[in-house]
Chain A
Amino acid sequence: GESVGLHLPTLSVQEGDNSIINCAYSNSASDYFIWYKQESGKGPQFIIDIRSNMDKRQGQRVTVLLNKTVKHLSLQIAATQPGDSAVYFCAENIGGNTPLVFGKGTRLSVIA
């Protein structure tokens, strides 16, 4: 289940289960979204992206869903593995010539 840690919400899942990480983005004009994975001591690593003209995109073991009506983005990870343990950030491009804006992140903890 989810709990609020010192700074980051944490999602704990059993190995092999599916994980769903949610993100509420800030600006209805945002047209490009990316999910990043950040392991301890490393920089964010690109996982998957989606543009606002789509509502679903699939990668290898990951799916991103976009609901523009409620400004909600989710990342689904199938058959979660211990190596998926990390902090996950959604990032949005708030239209125009502007840099990516990152959300606050969710810590995924996989229980073996």
Chain B
Amino acid sequence: GAGVSQSPRYKVAKRGQDVALRCDPISGHVSLFWYQQALGQGPEFLTYFQNEAQLDKSGLPSDRFFAERPEGSVSTLKIQRTQQEDSAVYLCASSPGREYTNYGYTFGSGTRLTVV
């Protein structure tokens, strides 16, 4: 597609529920990133994929967070046993290059997760 597509746009989860957030990157983009953006804050890095390989997951806040990109295109961010502090906008970005920052990333519009 023309841009990075994320679904759902909004998700309300009860505390303890598992959620799955989807990202469709720009076709052919090698690099894919997940960021978490709390209200009034800048995005914070979660994890990075180069094709299907997850090269960096240093930003994942706990083992409840899991991401995958099995075929090197669509990626899913899964959060198990959601907690209120997981409430945030989850942003996906893709980049054509293999390096982390050789190009500016193209971001999707994000999924706003609210845990009640």
Interface residues of A (CB under 8 A from B): 6-8, 32, 34, 36, 41-46, 49, 89, 91, 93, 97-105
- The answer to whether A93 and B41 touch across the interface, beta carbons within 8 angstroms, is no
Q: Which 4 A-B pairs have the closest CB atoms?
A: A7-B40, A43-B107, A102-B42, A46-B104
- The answer to whether A34 and B104 touch across the interface, beta carbons within 8 angstroms, is yes
Does residue B39 face the partner (Cβ distance < 8 Å to A)?
yes
Name the A residues within 8 Å of B109 (CB-CB): 41-43
Does residue B56 face the partner (Cβ distance < 8 Å to A)?
yes
> Which residue of A has the minimal Cβ distance to B106?
A46
- The answer to whether B44 and A102 touch across the interface, beta carbons within 8 angstroms, is yes
Near A by CB (< 8 A), chain B positions 21-62 give 33, 35, 39-45, 48, 56, 59
Can you list 11 contacts pairing A with B, beta carbon distance less than 8 Å?
A: A7-B40, A43-B93, A43-B108, A89-B43, A97-B100, A98-B101, A99-B45, A99-B48, A99-B100, A102-B42, A105-B42
Question: A7 contacts which of B39, B44, B99, B100 (Cβ < 8 Å)?
Answer: B39
> Which residue of B has the minimal Cβ distance to A32?
B101
Question: B33 contacts which of A45, A49, A99, A105 (Cβ < 8 Å)?
Answer: A99
Interface size band for B: 20 to 34
Name the A residues within 8 Å of B108 (CB-CB): 43
Name the A residues within 8 Å of B39 (CB-CB): 7
Least CB distance, A112 to chain B, in whole angstroms: 25
Near A by CB (< 8 A), chain B positions 46-91 give 48, 56, 59, 91
Which of the listed residues B4, B39, B43, B56 has the most CB atoms from chain A within 10 Å of its own CB? B43
Additional pairs, 11, CB under 8 Å, beyond known A41-B109, A44-B43, A99-B100: A32-B101, A34-B101, A43-B4, A43-B91, A44-B107, A46-B104, A89-B42, A91-B42, A99-B33, A99-B45, A100-B105
CA of A49 to CA of B95, assembled, Å: 15
> Which residue of B has the minimal Cβ distance to A105?
B42
Name the B residues within 8 Å of A103 (CB-CB): 42
